[in-house]
Amino acid sequence: MADVVMADDGIAFDGATAETGPLGGAETAFVALAEALASRGHRVEARSRCRAPLCHKGVSWAPLETAAPAACDLFIANRGTRLIGLVPQTRRRLLWLHNPAGYLNKPRNAWRLAWHRPTVVVTGPYHASTVPGWLPCRREIIPYGMLDCFRHAEPRDPPPPRAIFTSNPLRGLGWLLDLWVGRIAPAVPGAELHLYAGPAVYRLGGERARCMDAVLSRADALSAQGVRRHEPVARERLVEVLRGARVMLYRGDPGETFCLALAEAQAMGVPAIVQPVGAVGERVADGRSGRVAASEDAFVEAATAVLRDDALWREWHRGALATQRGLDWDAVAARFEALIG
């Protein structure tokens, strides 16, 4: 049994938050790893911007201002370099990255990394390519796990032509709406594009919230073209939504280092059409669980085909179920555990 401390200084959340409402990918991963480590018998303390202490599924949550232990076996700083030194003494210090790592070049980050020399954990090959080459730290690639609720879908019959988008609206939704209205919807009578997205997931404010509202307001005006907007939903409800989806359409984004939304859809057997932008090409088995489209024309062609062709849909649906369920969080926790040494 090891003593594990995890810390995050982003939005306010804790283990209960993940069960009662929508949560972003990095926060979902943080909660899932903490609970998986606790399930493996470790003592896990989590620090975040949560409002009050909470013991949930074996994890002891407390606000960041609560004093952290002076020592532990494994310390995981989530995203921010400000937290790297939160626990003074530890057998293994990790910096778990969820975004492109170029920000580590900033002087205020560089000196912390040089001083503490944490092991940097990234989620895949694309993500690893964004880590500055000068960084004097060991690197480890550990992909996200998949929550159990997404990993046990059964083969099903083709759903109606209902496309879905469950990612960040600032990551290509405007582009997708252009293609949907101009080229995809006219080619597939009765097709719908369902959006489960909004600022509630990211707790945004200011200019980014206004930009997100602008693209979502545009979506609201496209009901005649089959666009349907919904509020983001918690994971259990998302399982039902994905079960009724025909295809996930997502261009990708240079800021996308894993894309848990896409991984969840694929694990549920939902074919996906993406472009090779950011890490999204790593989430789709091209030609088996969907299409990694090299061009806009190829994206439209694949989207139109899978919305209309039941045989193609069955092929990609079965391919996704066979190859894209991913690791469970226990397996991911075992990889983190192995880093203790």
pLDDT attached to residue 20: 84
Alpha carbon 173 to its chain centroid, in Å, reads 16
Q: Give mean pLDDT, residues 155-184.
A: 97
Of the two residues 200 and 251, the one the predictor is more confident about is 251
Of the two residues 79 and 201, the one the predictor is more confident about is 79
- pLDDT > 60? residue 204: no
Which range, of 10-24, 62-76, 82-96, 146-160, averages the lowest pLDDT?
10-24
pLDDT attached to residue 198: 79
Provide the pairing of β-strand 59-63 with 54-56.
antiparallel
Copy the structure tokens of residue 103: 């920000």
Copy the structure tokens of residue 149: 């609720």
pLDDT tens, position by position, 131-169: 999 988 999 999 999 999 999 999 999 999 999 999 999
Helix, coil or strand: residue 135: coil
Q: What percent of the chain has pLDDT over 90?
A: 89
CA gap 253, 239 in Å, rounded:
24
Q: Across 89-137, where does the E strand assignment appear?
A: 89-96, 119-122
pLDDT tens, position by position, 94-116: 999 999 999 999 999 989 999 99
pLDDT attached to residue 200: 67
- pLDDT > 90? residue 339: yes
Residue 199: pLDDT band with limits 50, 70, 90: confident
- pLDDT > 70? residue 205: no
Helix, coil or strand: residue 153: coil
pLDDT tens, position by position, 216-234: 999 999 999 999 999 999 8
Q: Hey, what domains does the chain have and what are their CATH numbers?
A: 3-145+327-338 (3.40.50.2000), 148-323 (3.40.50.2000)
pLDDT attached to residue 120: 98
- pLDDT > 80? residue 327: yes
Residue 201: pLDDT band with limits 50, 70, 90: low
Nearest to 264 by CA among 288, 240, 229: 240
Q: Give mean pLDDT, residues 87-95.
A: 97
Q: Give mean pLDDT, residues 6-29.
A: 91
Copy the structure tokens of residue 64: 């960041």
Please name every residue paired with 44 in a beta bridge, in sequence order, or none if there are none: 4, 59
Please name every residue paired with 43 in a beta bridge, in sequence order, or none if there are none: 3
pLDDT tens, position by position, 266-302: 999 999 999 999 999 999 999 999 999 999 999 999 9
Q: What is the mean pLDDT of the chain?
A: 95
Specify whether the CB–CB gap between 333 and 33 falls below 8 A: yes
pLDDT attached to residue 24: 86
Q: Judge if pTM exceeds 0.75.
A: yes
